[in-house]
Amino acid sequence: MNGEHDDYSENQGATQPIMEISHLQRREIQAPIAACLIRGFSQVMGHVKALEVATAAIQADAMVGGQSLAERYGSNTLVELARIVREVWAEGDAITIHVLEETARKLSFNVTRCRYAELYERLGMKDLGFCLSCSRDEAFAKGINPQLELLRTQTIMQGAPFCDFHFTLK
């Protein structure tokens, strides 16, 4: 799905409490079916092509999610992106971040713990974790603001000790 909270109720027409789930919980729900599809497509078209197709679809979804959250937060600046990182991505201690720089034109931080990577490891699909989660980040940022650029040289998902995020508003 996208980076925002989806609202769920058993009966759309009834007035029932709306259950919101965290970003991490959403990934946990999505992961098994997405992995099943990617692995099935891999058998038909090869692993590289299946990952390429899945990544493109996931990035398109992430861009829409970024646009939606920019609308929900009422702006598309780095201030809102920083709020989204703290309120959505890190909700429930899903990631531990160390902010390096936060200005109107730059947001840099390291992720020193990633429960998303831990989730995919626990589910036996860490090999797909980058595709399912990390590949979303740049497209998500572009959805928030097409002038946002992300430079990231490493991820925990790919075995690094931390993820380095450097967002710049051009």
Position 20 scores a pLDDT of 85
Kindly state whether residue 128 falls inside one of the protein's structural domains: yes
Kindly state whether residue 61 falls inside one of the protein's structural domains: yes
Write out the residue range of the structural domain in which residue 68 sits. Answer: 23-169
Beta strand extents in the chain (DSSP E only): 7-8, 19-20, 95-102, 106-114, 148-151, 163-169
Kindly state whether residue 14 falls inside one of the protein's structural domains: no
Kindly state whether residue 163 falls inside one of the protein's structural domains: yes
Position 133 scores a pLDDT of 96
Kindly state whether residue 9 falls inside one of the protein's structural domains: no
Position 19 scores a pLDDT of 61
Phi-psi region of 4 (alpha: psi -120 to 50; beta: other; left: phi over 0): beta
**Residue pair 60/40 in contact by the 8 Å Cβ criterion:** no
C-alpha 42/C-alpha 24 separation (Å) is: 26
Per-residue CA distances from 74 to 10, 29, 67, 88, 155 (Å): 29, 28, 11, 15, 30
Residue 105 backbone dihedrals phi, psi, to 5 degrees:
-115, -5
**Residue pair 128/34 in contact by the 8 Å Cβ criterion:** yes
Please give the single-letter amino acid code of residue 42. S
Overall domain count for the chain: 1
Position 136 scores a pLDDT of 96
The pTM (predicted TM-score) of the whole model is 0.84
Q: What angle do CA 99, 125, 113 make, to 5 degrees?
A: 20
pLDDT less than 70: residues of the chain: 1-19
Kindly state whether residue 151 falls inside one of the protein's structural domains: yes
Kindly state whether residue 6 falls inside one of the protein's structural domains: no
Return the CATH number at 105: 3.30.1380
Q: pLDDT per residue over 40-58, tens digit each?
A: 999 999 999 999 999 999 9
Kindly state whether residue 119 falls inside one of the protein's structural domains: yes
